[in-house]
A and B are shown apart, each in its own frame.
Chain A
Amino acid sequence: MTIAAPRPTLARRLSSTLSTHPRVRLALLITAPVAWMAIVYIVALVLLLVTAFWSVDSFTGQITTEFTWDNIVEVVTGALYQTVTLRTVGVALLVTIVDVVIAVPVAFFMAKVASARWERILIVLVLLPLWASYLVKAYAWRSVLSQEGILQWLLTPFGLETPGYGLTAVVITLAYLWLPYVILPIHAGFSRVPDSMLEASGDLGAKSWATLRLVVLPLVWPSIIAGTIFSFSLSLGDYITVNIVGGANQMLGNLVYTNVGAANNLPLASAIALIPIVIIFGYLALVRRTGALNNL
């Protein structure tokens, strides 16, 4: 019994051409995503950068495409922008610290203590808030934090009261919103540390604290950094939460929003938007110096 050779159909000839021409294959594979990246990421960013060096004609409200440093100078030297930048960075740092402090033990419990079944359940629970709309969650916190809210009711017996609307509320709400993005990479990091590594450390005489400091933290450090990049950069760009629970406070996002909308000054908005980009680049450079990105 013999098996007939397959007939050279068109599809078959195409397949054989592709299998002998790796470059054609590669081109077919990446053309679309590269084009998408170029348009969505690069072009948008370059436009932002370019717009920051233009200005607005104060009579007509039209954009003048002449090169000027005015927006940059104003953003860097203006007291308002300096204050808001400091406030925004402060909020982003606090949010990041709160998230890491909560996420590390939670992620450790999920990856190393809980049974396989509970680990799955906890992952779903961590992801669950992401199914609800950002706005709904922010307004939920507005209700929780209000003077008549559940937090006030819970704290009254202890002689405390709700922080009300303000920067504290912004930090709490943002920390809540970004927590899943911080837990997940750290959880993945802990999962990659084999149990035998922890056992070996204990076996060699290290108590829990020494094991944590000398073995666990160095190994999950890149994952923690990955988590902080999420919480830090997402906080830097946020303007909705601060509107909802921030009281009268403004963050950089609010300034961008007002300048694009009410003030109709896109070039100035672009210049302001460059601030968080520069800060994030600074943060990445700092992180890179610690060597954390080498192990990603």
Chain B
Amino acid sequence: MSDAVPAIRLRGLTKDFGSVTAVDHVDLEIAAGEFFSMLGPSGSGKTTVLRLIAGFEQPTEGVVELFGRDVSGKAPFDRDVNTVFQDYALFPHLSVLDNVGYGLRVRGVRKRERDERARAALASVRLDGLADRKPAQLSGGQRQRVALARATVVQPKALLLDEPLGALDLKLREQMQVELKQIQRDLGITFIFVTHDQEEALTLSDRVAVFHDGRIEQLGTPQELYEQPATKFVADFVGTSNLFDAERSSALLGRTGVHSIRPEKLVVAPADATAPTGDGERTAAGTVVETIYLGTGNRVVVDLDGGARVSVLEQNDRHRTFVDRRGERVLVVWHDADVVPLSSPLIE
């Protein structure tokens, strides 16, 4: 991140709904041009933060700054950010062209220029041919792109996206992810992307904030979040993890505190395999209770003799295919460096 003024800065942002605190003293800086994701389960406060930035909600406490300017008391139409809504919120009585031109129309841009710019925006999302249709005549993916064109045609300094891909089916969603990333690079503006899909957040983002109970649980690059989850919640929510409470950590890992290991960092070896040779390699004996074929790999669930149950992800490649190994005695092997210490106590 540069030293320049952040595109968005939140300071002590708090929002209460009655007795419920949806957002609890959130501090955050998002750089200009960044693709930033807010990830969390429903009710974690991520959408409320987005709505506070857009101006649809007023904070109970705290400040929202856009490019160094405090906009906390300002209405949505006085903020240089635009939103792509989860339900797209296209105006059903207006044509696609008029929907895209709406922001220009209310700014007093004349019809000819407005239509020209709206057509250019539609072309940028590859919808040139559909300008005269009504939103009801479009598919979900097309509506999504109209919403994008409508929000970007007024050249906002930041684009807020509220689960924009949530309503699309898997194939289309993957395709739109690629397109979103390209559009963001082309426009060079800040994207703030709200999602509950951890894979989507990891794929698209420069940085991700993981929300939990109205707070930011961890903030970092996708790699940092995945490789070095700070808490049990992050380890569990971002990807899958094998979690070890303090007791099992000391028994199995010989460490104090709570730890996690990613399933793909574990290896299943035959029970009679030779003792580990490499530095820091460790093993534990156990029994396979389940093997699941996943296509590119297999998930092997092993009950370790110490009492813990771990999940191992092994890749199917030239040397390995799926074998049902239920009941087999095995050794689970891992490297000390892949054990991640977690800060919060493990509650079971």
Contacts and interface: CB of A to CB of B under 8 A. Distances in A.
Given A199-B85, A202-B77, A206-B77, A219 B92 contact: yes
Interface in A192-238: 194, 196-197, 199-207, 210, 214-215, 218-219
B85 A205 contact: no
Interface in B148-162: 150-151, 154
Contacts of A205: 77, 103, 106-107, 154
B102 A204 contact: yes
Contact of A206 (B54, B82, B83, B106): B106
A270 B103 CA distance: 56
Nearest to B153: A204
Contact of B93 (A194, A203, A204, A219): A219
Given A194-B89, A197-B89, A218-B93, A203 B82 contact: yes
B56, B86, B89 interface centre (most CB from chain A within 10 Å)? B89
Contacts of A210: 106
B269 interface: no
B77 A203 contact: yes
A169 B107 CA distance: 45
A204 B106 contact: yes
A202 B85 contact: no
A200, A206, A214, A218 interface centre (most CB from chain B within 10 Å)? A200
Contact of B56 (A197, A199, A206, A214): A199
A58 B150 CA distance: 74
A214 B102 contact: yes
A98 B154 CA distance: 40
B87 interface: yes
Contact of A204 (B55, B75, B86, B103): B103
B91 interface: yes
B85 A200 contact: yes
A207 B55 CA distance: 13
Given A202-B75, A202-B76, A204-B154, A214 B85 contact: no
B105 interface: yes
A203 B54 contact: yes
Nearest to A200: B89
Contacts of A219: 91-93
Interface in B100-151: 102-103, 105-107, 150-151
Contacts of A196: 85-87, 89
A118 B10 CA distance: 34
The interface residues of chain A, by DSSP majority, are classed as helix
Contacts of B87: 194, 196
Contact of B77 (A207, A215, A295): A207
B106 A199 contact: no
B85 A204 contact: no
A94 B317 CA distance: 81
A160 B12 CA distance: 56
B76 A214 contact: no
B91 A197 contact: yes
B54, B91, B106 interface centre (most CB from chain A within 10 Å)? B106
A218 B82 CA distance: 23
A240 B297 CA distance: 83
Contacts of B54: 199, 203
A199, A200, A204 interface centre (most CB from chain B within 10 Å)? A204
Contacts of A197: 89, 91
Contacts of B107: 205
A295 B93 CA distance: 10
B159 to A, nearest CB: 11
Contacts of B85: 196, 199-200
B93 A199 contact: no
B89 A214 contact: no
Contacts of B93: 218-219, 295
Contacts of A202: 55-56, 75-77
B106 A203 contact: no
B168 to A, nearest CB: 17
A201 B102 contact: yes
Nearest to A206: B106
Given A205-B106, A206-B106, A199 B92 contact: no
A292 B330 CA distance: 73
Interface in A156-213: 194, 196-197, 199-207, 210
Interface in B2-37: none
B76 A203 contact: yes
B210 to A, nearest CB: 26
Nearest to A213: B106
A206 B102 CA distance: 9
Contacts of A206: 77, 102, 106
A203 B105 CA distance: 13
A204 B82 contact: yes
A231 to B, nearest CB: 24
- Identify the 8 closest CB pairs spanning chains A and B, nearest first: A204-B103, A200-B89, A196-B89, A206-B106, A202-B76, A218-B93, A196-B85, A210-B106
15 contacts: A194-B87, A196-B85, A196-B87, A199-B85, A202-B56, A203-B54, A203-B77, A203-B82, A203-B83, A204-B103, A205-B107, A206-B106, A207-B77, A214-B106, A219-B91
Given A197-B91, A204-B151, 15 more contacts: A196-B87, A197-B89, A199-B54, A199-B56, A199-B85, A200-B90, A201-B91, A201-B106, A202-B55, A204-B82, A204-B150, A206-B106, A207-B77, A207-B106, A214-B105
Interface of B: 54-56, 75-77, 82-83, 85-87, 89-93, 102-103, 105-107, 150-151, 154
